[in-house]
Amino acid sequence: MLDSNRIMSKGFDVEIDTLANGGQAEDSTGVLSERSDLSVGLSSGGGAKSFYIETFGCQMNVHDTEKVAGFLLARGYRAAASATDADLMLYNTCSIREKAAQKVFSRLGEWRGERRKVIGVLGCLAQQEGEEIFERAPWVSLVCGSASYRKLPELVAELESGGRRVMGLDLNVDETFETEITRRDNPIRAYITIIEGCDYACSYCVVPHTRGPERSRASDAVLSEARRLAYAGYTEIQLLGQTVNSYRDPSPRKLSFVELLREVASVIGIRRVRFTTSHPNDFHREIVDAIDSTLALCDHIHLPVQSGSDRILREMRRTYTRDEYLDKISWIRGARRAISITSDIIVGFPGESERDFEDTLTLLDEVGYDGIFSFSYSPRPNTTATSMPDAIPEAEKSRRLAILQERQRQIQLTRNEKLVGETFEVLVDNHNAARAQWAGRTSSNRMINFTSPRENLLGEYIQVKVTRAAPHSLVGEHVALQ
């Protein structure tokens, strides 16, 4: 299920059923793995037109799908039970790596010659390929990039009134995508996008081209959504953004990211607040202080480093050095709470020497990450790294990736073994009836599988004592509070 070059510290060492209500597989940073079986679609009823959305990529895409589904439901569409049953079949796509893009085209190929249903491509690949999608798959009639979702009502109206091909690819947007209804699929954790797009220009990354410039949402809109979610029974909120900590409140209140964190954490009923992804350049000590002093802010920070080599970091245009990054890690390690740290790493960037790669390995040892997403560099259109000399052969990239993952596996095992005997508060989010096991996450986002004499634990906060450790998850037992 996980992309082969995106093997992360998997969240699930023991197989667990997906959530009863359209479950989602997340790895230990809470970032969704690239997979093609995330879908929105429910049983049908009535005579309205129906839709089905298949989602690829990150949490931001998953949450965009929830918003697009909400918009379609508000417009009178109903969710179909399967892709085959739907009148409108939408693919919300990812193009972060070549493999992700290929997957979408192979999915589209399954509908070759289809005339009865409307097929649409949303998201990053739509933005990247634009009209080319109509060329490669002439049976597609809607192409809309994620920066243009605000245009979806017009585009869908055009299709409804007989339009054959409609397209929304505008990147010059200064507003975020707000919907009146969001159809949430995860009954335990709710996402709120607080910032969209990206103003950085990492030389390997398509995101600034596919998601447009950075724009933050007004703090009042974020806070009222958090209150509505708490009222609906959610206790855990995850704030989302490609560079979530670059948040700048566009409203007169002008809240900083940390002020927003504190306010969301103080919403009555909200017990856990997470945020991802933080850019090291905008990572300030105040974030650590806020976590230290606010129990509802989870003790986990995802801080992608990408490489341990200063030379490669410069070529990647990451805007920080290894030492500057390590300084920030030392703030986190110096906190009163034990904060878990996870990261993203790319191996095989053009020109990466053995020495550069060794620098990344020593960085793993120095930081002692609790989890990483590791990627083999994939050249992307419209990025400057694509034309850089000294491409690393695929076989060599795979070799480095395997070495990196093995080193990290050992680090995680050692770190997790130290937790045996400790007791954590766990938010229960899964049940495996066949194994008679429950699963949930600690505040530090560690996945724990456990047994309990109790029933109906989904959505509850309980105490779990760790009895065994694996590299990617823990095993434990439910203990009663003393």
| Residues binding ligand SF4 (CB under 6 A) | 198, 200, 202, 205, 207-208, 242-243, 279
Q: Least distance in Å: CB of 445 to ligand SAM?
A: 17
Structure tokens at 345: 């790493």
Q: Residue 167 burial by CB count (10 A; 0-12/13-18/19+): exposed, middle or buried?
A: buried
Q: Least distance in Å: CB of 164 to ligand SF4?
A: 34
Q: Find tokens 């410069």 and name the residue.
A: 314
Q: Least distance in Å: CB of 267 to ligand SAM?
A: 26
The entry of ligand SAM, ligand SF4, none near residue 96 (CB within 5 to 8 angstroms by kind) is ligand SAM
Q: Least distance in Å: CB of 445 to ligand SF4?
A: 20
Q: For residue 378, give Cα distances in angstroms to 60, 125, 406.
A: 21, 15, 21
The entry of ligand SF4, ligand SAM, none near residue 146 (CB within 5 to 8 angstroms by kind) is none
The entry of ligand SAM, ligand SF4, none near residue 247 (CB within 5 to 8 angstroms by kind) is none
Q: In what helix (H) or strand (E) does residue 195 lie, and over which residues does it extend?
A: strand 195-196
Region at 280 (left for phi over 0; alpha for psi -120 to 50; beta for the rest): alpha
Query: Of 242 and 445, which has the nearer Cβ to ligand SF4?
Result: 242
User: Residue 235's CB: how many other CB atoms inside 10 A?
Assistant: 18
Query: Of 344 and 429, which has the nearer Cβ to ligand SAM?
Result: 344
The entry of ligand SF4, ligand SAM, none near residue 257 (CB within 5 to 8 angstroms by kind) is none
Side by side, which strands form the sheet with 300-302?
300-302, 340-347, 371-376
The entry of ligand SAM, ligand SF4, none near residue 380 (CB within 5 to 8 angstroms by kind) is ligand SAM
The entry of ligand SAM, ligand SF4, none near residue 19 (CB within 5 to 8 angstroms by kind) is none
Q: Least distance in Å: CB of 104 to ligand SF4?
A: 19
Query: Of 33 and 412, which has the nearer Cβ to ligand SF4?
Result: 33
Q: Least distance in Å: CB of 207 to ligand SF4?
A: 4
Q: Least distance in Å: CB of 195 to ligand SAM?
A: 11
Query: Of 377 and 450, which has the nearer Cβ to ligand SAM?
Result: 377
End-to-end CA distance of the chain: 40
Give the CA-trace dihedral at 250, 254, 258, 259, to 10 degrees.
-130
Query: Of 200 and 461, which has the nearer Cβ to ligand SF4?
Result: 200
Q: In what helix (H) or strand (E) does residue 50 lie, and over which residues does it extend?
A: strand 50-55
Query: Of 41 and 197, which has the nearer Cβ to ligand SAM?
Result: 197
Q: Least distance in Å: CB of 385 to ligand SAM?
A: 7
- Whether 87 and 368 have beta carbons less than 8 Å apart is answered as no
Q: Least distance in Å: CB of 308 to ligand SF4?
A: 16
Cα-only R_g, the chain:
22
- The residue type found at 458 is L
- Whether 152 and 68 have beta carbons less than 8 Å apart is answered as yes
Closest CA to 79 of 68, 94, 93: 68
Q: Least distance in Å: CB of 301 to ligand SAM?
A: 12
Query: Of 31 and 255, which has the nearer Cβ to ligand SAM?
Result: 31
The entry of ligand SAM, ligand SF4, none near residue 370 (CB within 5 to 8 angstroms by kind) is none
Q: What is the C-alpha separation between 92 and 123, in angstroms, rounded?
A: 5
Region at 380 (left for phi over 0; alpha for psi -120 to 50; beta for the rest): beta
The entry of ligand SF4, ligand SAM, none near residue 208 (CB within 5 to 8 angstroms by kind) is ligand SF4
Query: Of 279 and 400, which has the nearer Cβ to ligand SF4?
Result: 279
Closest CA to 206 of 38, 81, 380: 380
Q: What is the C-alpha separation between 434 and 438, in angstroms, rounded?
A: 11
The entry of ligand SAM, ligand SF4, none near residue 375 (CB within 5 to 8 angstroms by kind) is ligand SAM
Side by side, which strands form the sheet with 236-240?
189-193, 236-240, 272-276
Q: What is the C-alpha separation between 60 and 176, in angstroms, rounded?
A: 13
Query: Of 319 and 451, which has the nearer Cβ to ligand SF4?
Result: 319
User: Residue 423's CB: how many other CB atoms inside 10 A?
Assistant: 15
- Whether 238 and 59 have beta carbons less than 8 Å apart is answered as yes
Query: Of 223 and 347, which has the nearer Cβ to ligand SAM?
Result: 347
The entry of ligand SAM, ligand SF4, none near residue 149 (CB within 5 to 8 angstroms by kind) is none
Residues that bind ligand SAM (CB under 6 A): 58, 96-97, 204-205, 207, 242-243, 277, 279, 304, 306, 344, 346, 375, 377-378, 380
